[in-house]
A and B are shown apart, each in its own frame.
Chain A
Amino acid sequence: MLPLLSILIFLPLIGGLITFFSGANARKTALTIALAELVFSAWVLLGHFSPAAGMQLVEDYWWVESLGISYKIGIDGISMALVLLTNVLLPLIILSAFGRTIKSPALYFGLMLLMQSALVGVFVALDGFLFYIFWELALIPIYLICLNWGGENRSRITLKFFIYTLFGSLLMLVAFIWMRTQTQNLSFDIDQFYALKLSAGAQSWVFWALFLAFAIKMPVFPFHTWQPDTYTDSPTQGTMLLSGIMLKMGIYGVMRWMLPVLPQGIATWGTLAVSLAVAGIVYASLIAWVQKDFKRLIAYSSIAHVGMIAAAIFTLSSQGLVGGVVQMLSHGVNVVGLFFVADILMNRTNTRDLGSLGGIRSVAPAFATSFMIVLLGSVALPLTNGFIGEFMLMSGIFRYNAILAAIAGLSVIFGAVYMLRAYRKIMLGESTTASANFTDLSWNEKAVLYPLVVLIFLFGVYPEPIIQLVTPSVQQLQDVITNAGAATLR
């Protein structure tokens, strides 16, 4: 039996190292490796995976036995969905850099593949320590990508980003180390964590340690202050990695490592978490409304979308959790599309300022149509992917608390308003000096945008496969949560 998951993790790692030495062929090498990884993960999904079987393809070896650290990985529906998201987006992200001038491409694309390896690792790790290692490993490539290929103020901004997230993850590490001391056989194994019966007081502080770690990563209001600057100043591919995939680490972390371990903590503090998330939705939507820089606007809209997911999963309802996973996938696809649109604008016109653009639709119809579809997906129009997820999230929040749901619902309206307003300013009206000579999509830009458009429609019209992939695993997760809750109350 092949160690399928280990291959999934190490294929991009080795590929990244190969890419470092591939010189001028870096783009093609990296793309080939990313496509190979995609094909391989599709093969694992179709040939070796069954959604109903729960955690499967488990590999478990000691890493540092004396400290109870093991190399334990496994995959269930939730993990599979996120691994697929990573591996579908990565080739597109690499492709989005084709036709752009990039210094030291070998290092740039190699780092992306290293990051992919770490991301897959985060989504399949079943040992707390291993999870932490992959979590940090994902941070280093993206930090270097933003540092070397980012915009003007990148040194200051990326350092803030790094220290902010490192602060969170150290809290997580401290919580994990402490939880290990409470387990029966002193190990970081996730099953041991699930079997913990912590006191209410302990659950409170562990809740805050883990919540801060994950909330900073997502980010949830008011821990989001690193995000707009970092998203705006990173190179396009860096922003896509951060927003498309990396922030899902935070949401995934809550689902896998927090909810099942801390039922009492969630019962005590869950309402506050949901309220913070909802407050963030409104706050970010309002700020997005007044942004002039399109990339910054997307950054703030991303906070709003993620806030909705965070609010829904803390309600612990099955709609909320399934919707959370579905919306993670949709958001990943849409936000990568939007940032690519911003990149195309920047590449053609050298500006992202809404005021100095206009009239592009008439000269670039293919671009205009793709942009419109991505945008509709993002504002959750029915028949697009965004609608399915958002609908489930809203129904999850509504059952939890109708007032919070009403406030969160505002964001859907706000989102439509500021997104369509941005579209009008950029694409319609009189053309300006900046946008007069706008050329339509090139072949490689089509190769990125068209698959995204297809995905948006595909999951908007027929979301059943994803829901079926995720639902059994969410069911199992809820069983763990219920049992843990019952155990604590006894």
Chain B
Amino acid sequence: MNTLIALSGLGLITLFSEIFSFKKLIRPIIFLGLVTALIFSISDWNTNQSLFNNMILVDNYAVAFSTLLIGLTIVWFLLSNNVFLEGATEVDHSALVVFALIGAVCMTMYSNMIMLFLGIEILSISLYVLAGSDKTNLSSNESAIKYFLMGAFATGFLLFGIALTYGATGSFSLTAIGDAVASGGNTNSAMLTAGMFLLLIAMSFKVSAAPFHFWAPDVYQGAPTAVTAFMSTVVKTAAFAAFLRLFATIFASNTDVWSTTLWAIAALTILLGNIAAAAQENIKRMLAYSSVAHAGYLLLAILSMNQLAAGAMFFYVVAYSVSSLLAFFILLIVSQKTGTDTISGFKGLFKTHPVLAILTVIAMLSLAGIPPTAGFFAKYFIFTAALDAGYIGLVVLAVAGSLVGVYYYFRPLMAVFSPTEETEGPIVNPSTVVLLVILAAASLLLGASPRLISGLLG
């Protein structure tokens, strides 16, 4: 609870900083505020408290995910200083990111449908604005409009799903709904089934699973790269945390109704994401499609719904977020110099900036899931969970998808080592390099010793 209060306070202070003109202090304030929230969040470990008439349940699942979200946001802020957060709009953008984080944290600890809805909306509305924050750029505006229209549509599905579920079970509380579904007796099954599928579609939209993924490539490509990095890490993590919590709590007892549909969604997501990513020249768009593919792998965890699922999903989002932050910020640095997001921008990076080149290699290896990086164990845990649940065919498909992944992730990697006439590398802040090196080291460390976090959740 302290976490949410601290974050909300921080959001308000950030907004006030412009009015009361302590704008210069805003960076240390945000940093300290986030670190405070992080400490509050960690201190909730093993407390398992239920708050506000059971609106919020701070169990270890919630603590693990919200700590991760806050940690990622801290890293994101440190990396985005001077590249995205600068000038007249700095305060607005910072406040929006903090508010988005509040929504994301709500999505990990909700125990009532209302809180889920609030969380998703707080997160989404902040993001609509952030996606369009590069006001002079046409594609950024397009991205915001697209995201808003599609997002509003998905919100409709979500609300309708919540309403029908309420109609069938008579409650907004996850535990009450879960009990009603499990008992099966007096619930109106047609209404419940319709509600469940609407919820499934709304959540699939939020995690950009096919065939509800069409917004993702355009939005990812059009938004400023720093915002895209935020979306593919914090937002994706929050959406999956909410998705698994929702289905594991209320629909665990009738998996037979929805598992076939989700199976198809996962298979389609893996197929479409990987195949479309392989055809991209623009790295940002490639990463966008590949993030769709990663959503497909993550759906395997929701589908397997066993004791391994939560731990596997947590490890996966950690590994994916770390390497994704790395990839997007390298892209940002590179494209600042070359002015292009295409693969050609990476050409000869090894000659012009060897450190950045090695970091690119580590990021791509991790995204492709090659040992000794965290990405390998992430895939391994998820695939093992799915195999244990008996989804052999889907795992085979996912392994084949990862092979395609190697193809497109290795294209920037190969470009890095290709010859170039260029002699000057991109200009990078030393502190940014240090942060990126820490991220890469984290990826390698988790690859060498996955025990560090693999045992946290079951």
Q: 1/0 per position for A142-166, CB-CB distance to B under 8 A?
A: 0010011000000100110011001
Binary interface profile of B, 343-383, with partner A (CB < 8 Å = 1, else 0)?
00000001000100000010001000011100010000101
- A56-74 contact mask (Cβ, 8 Å, vs B): 1 or 0: 0000000111110000000
CA distance A133 to B387 in the complex (A): 20
**B111-140 vs A: 1/0 string, CB under 8 Å?**
000000000000000000000000000000
**A166 to B354 CA separation, bound complex (whole angstroms):** 26
- Do B414 and A147 touch (CB < 8 A)? yes
B403–A163 CB distance below 8 A: yes
A144 and B403 within 8 A (CB) = no
Contact B451 A148 (CB under 8 A): no
A163, B402: Cα distance in complex, Å: 10
Assess the B384–A177 pair: CB atoms within 8 A: yes
Is A364 an interface residue, CB under 8 A from the partner?
no
Tell me whether A133 and B454 are in contact (CB under 8 A).
Answer: no
The verdict on B450 contacting chain A, using a C-beta distance below 8 Å, is yes
Whether a CB of chain A sits under 8 angstroms from the CB of B418 is yes
Chain A proximity of B351: nearest CB distance (Å): 8
| Cα distance A155–B412 in the bound complex, in angstroms | 11
Tell me if A293 counts as interface (CB < 8 A to partner B): no
Q: A144-B361, A148-B350 are contacts. A162–B406 as well, Cβ < 8 Å?
A: yes
Rounded to whole angstroms, the CA-CA distance of A136 and B369 in the bound complex is 11
Given known contacts A137-B371, A137-B372, A163-B406, A147 and B417 CB-to-CB distance under 8 angstroms:
yes
B160 at the interface (CB under 8 A from A): no
Which residues of B426-458 are within 8 A (CB) of A? Answer: 450-451, 454-455
**B65-80 CB contacts (< 8 Å) to partner A:** none
Tell me the complex Cα distance, A140–B413, Å: 12
B399 at the binding interface (Cβ < 8 Å): yes
Say yes or no for B410: interface residue by CB 8 A criterion: yes
User: B22 on the interface (CB 8 Å rule)?
Assistant: no
| Interchain CB contact under 8 A, A148 and B455 | no
Give min CB distance, B300 to chain A, whole Å: 14
A167 interface residue per 8 A CB criterion:
yes
A104–B419 alpha-carbon span in the complex (Å): 13
Say yes or no: is B153 at the interface (Cβ < 8 Å to chain A).
no
User: Main SS of chain A's interface residues?
Assistant: helix
B371 contacts A133, C-beta separation under 8 Å = yes
User: Would A170 and B399 count as touching, CB distance under 8 A?
Assistant: yes
Q: A140 — which chain B residues lie within 8 A by C-beta?
A: 365, 370
Q: Which residue of the partner chain B has the closest CB to A180?
A: B384
Q: Is B407 an interface residue (CB 8 A)?
A: yes
Task: Find chain A residues with CB under 8 A from B371 CB.
Answer: 132-133, 136-137
Is A487 in contact with chain B by the CB < 8 A criterion? no
A174 within 8 A of B: yes
Query: CA–CA, A133 to B365, complex, Å?
Result: 14
Docked CA distance A451–B384 (Å): 48
Nearest A-chain residue to B372, judged by Cβ = A137
In the bound assembly, the distance between CA atoms of A177 and B406 in angstroms comes to: 21
Residues of B close to A163: CB separation below 8 A: 403, 406-407
Q: How far is the CA of A181 from the CA of B376 in the complex (A)?
A: 20
Contacting pair A170 B403 (CB below 8 A): yes
Asked if residues B418 and A174 are in contact (CB atoms below 8 Å), the reply is no
Residue of A nearest to B358 (CB): A107
CA distance A4 to B376 in the complex (A): 28
In chain A, positions 86-107 with a C-beta closer than 8 Å to chain B are 104, 107
Residue of A nearest to B368 (CB): A166
Complex Cα gap A155–B454 (Å)? 36
Q: Which residues of A contact B413 (CB under 8 A)?
A: 147
Q: State whether A167 touches B403 (Cβ < 8 A).
A: yes
Q: Which residues of B contact A137 (CB under 8 A)?
A: 371-372
What residues on A are CB-neighbors of B417 within 8 Å? 144, 147-148
Interface of B is mostly: helix
B384: A residues at CB distance < 8 A:
67, 177
- A133–B369 Cα distance when bound, in Å, is 12
Contacting pair A64 B450 (CB below 8 A):
yes
Instruction: Given the known inter-chain contacts A159-B407, A177-B384, please indicate yes or no for A136 contacting B370, CB distance below 8 A.
Output: yes
Distance between A62 CB and nearest chain B CB, rounded to angstroms: 9
Q: Interface size of A by Cβ–Cβ distance < 8 Å?
A: 26
- Which chain B residues border A147 with CB–CB below 8 Å? 413-414, 417
Given contacts A66-B455, A67-B384, A133-B372, contact A166 B406 (CB under 8 A): yes
Can you name the residue of chain B whose Cβ is closest to the Cβ of A146? B417
Please measure, in the bound complex, the distance between the C-alpha atom of A56 and the C-alpha atom of B402, giving whole angstroms.
38
CA distance A159 to B415 in the complex (A): 12
Please measure, in the bound complex, the distance between the C-alpha atom of A257 and the C-alpha atom of B399, giving whole angstroms: 22
CB contacts (< 8 Å) of A132 on chain B: these are 371
CA–CA, A159 and B414, complex, Å: 9
Q: Which residues of B contact A66 (CB under 8 A)?
A: 454-455
Q: For residue B365, give the distance in angstroms from its CB to the closest CB of chain A.
A: 7
Interface residues of B in 390-423 (CB under 8 A from A): 395-396, 399, 402-403, 406-407, 410, 413-414, 417-418
If A147-B417, A148-B417, A159-B407 touch, whether A174 touches B399 (CB-CB below 8 Å) is yes
Is B414 in contact with A64, judged by CB distance below 8 angstroms?
A: no
List, in ascending order, chain A residues with CB within 8 A of B396's CB.
Answer: 174
Task: Give CA–CA (A136, B403) in the complex, Å.
Answer: 14
Nearest CB of chain B from residue A140's CB, rounded to whole Å: 7
What is the distance, in angstroms, from A149's C-beta to the closest C-beta of chain B?
9
Q: Are B451 and A166 in contact (CB under 8 A)?
A: no
Q: Hey, what's the 0/1 contact readout for A222-257 against B, CB within 8 Å counting as 1? A: 000000000000000000000000000000000000
A170 (CB) vs chain B CBs: closest residue: B399
Cα separation A63 to B377 with both chains bound (whole Å): 12
In contact, A166 and B403 (Cβ under 8 angstroms): yes
Residues of chain B lying within 8 A (CB to CB) of residue A167: 403
| CA–CA, A166 and B405, complex, Å | 12
Question: Could you tell me the distance between the alpha carbons of A65 and B354 in the complex, rounded to whole angstroms?
Answer: 37
State in angstroms the CA–CA spacing of A40 and B396 once bound together. Answer: 43
A136 to B417, alpha carbons, bound, how many Å? 21
**In the complex, what distance in Å separates the CA atom of A155 from the CA atom of B418?**
8
Which residues on the B side are within 8 Å of A65 (C-beta)?
451
A230 vs chain B, min Cβ distance (A):
14
Most chain A beta-carbon neighbours within 10 Å: one of B361, B371, B376, B407: B371
Query: B residues within 8 A CB of A148?
Result: 350, 417
Query: Which residues from B are CB-within-8-Å of A104?
Result: 350, 354
Instruction: Report B-chain residues with C-beta under 8 Å of the C-beta of A63.
Output: 451
Give Cα A107 to B354, complex, Å. Answer: 10
- Map CB proximity to A onto B186-204 as digits: 1 under 8 Å, 0 otherwise: 0000000000000000000
Q: Are A155 and B414 in contact (CB under 8 A)?
A: yes
Closest B residue to A174 using CB positions: B399
Contact of A159 among B361, B370, B372, B410 (CB under 8 A): B410
* Chain B neighbourhood of A136, CB < 8 A: 370-372, 376
A27 to B350 CA separation, bound complex (whole angstroms): 20
Q: Which residues of A contact B418 (CB under 8 A)?
A: 155
Min CB gap A104→B, angstroms? 8
CB-CB < 8 A to B370: which residues of A? Answer: 136, 140, 166
Contact, CB under 8 Å: A64 / B451: yes
Which partner residue on chain B sits nearest A159 by CB separation? B410
Complex Cα distance, B395 from A177, in Å, reads: 12
Closest Cβ of chain B: how far from A229's Cβ, in Å?
A: 15
Least Cβ–Cβ distance between A375 and chain B, in angstroms = 34
A-B contact pairs, 16 of them (CB 8 A): A63-B451, A66-B454, A67-B381, A67-B384, A133-B371, A136-B372, A147-B414, A147-B417, A148-B350, A159-B407, A163-B407, A166-B403, A170-B403, A174-B395, A177-B383, A177-B387
The 4 closest A-B pairs by CB, nearest first: A148-B417, A155-B414, A136-B371, A133-B371
Using a CB–CB distance below 8 Å, which chain A residues touch chain B? 63-67, 104, 107, 132-133, 136-137, 140, 144, 147-148, 155, 158-159, 162-163, 166-167, 170, 174, 177, 181
Identify 13 new A-B residue pairs, CB closer than 8 A, beyond the known A67-B384, A104-B354: A63-B451, A64-B450, A65-B451, A104-B350, A107-B354, A133-B372, A137-B371, A137-B372, A147-B417, A158-B414, A163-B406, A166-B370, A177-B383
Residues of B within 8 A of A (CB): 350, 354, 361, 365, 370-372, 376, 381, 383-384, 387, 395-396, 399, 402-403, 406-407, 410, 413-414, 417-418, 450-451, 454-455
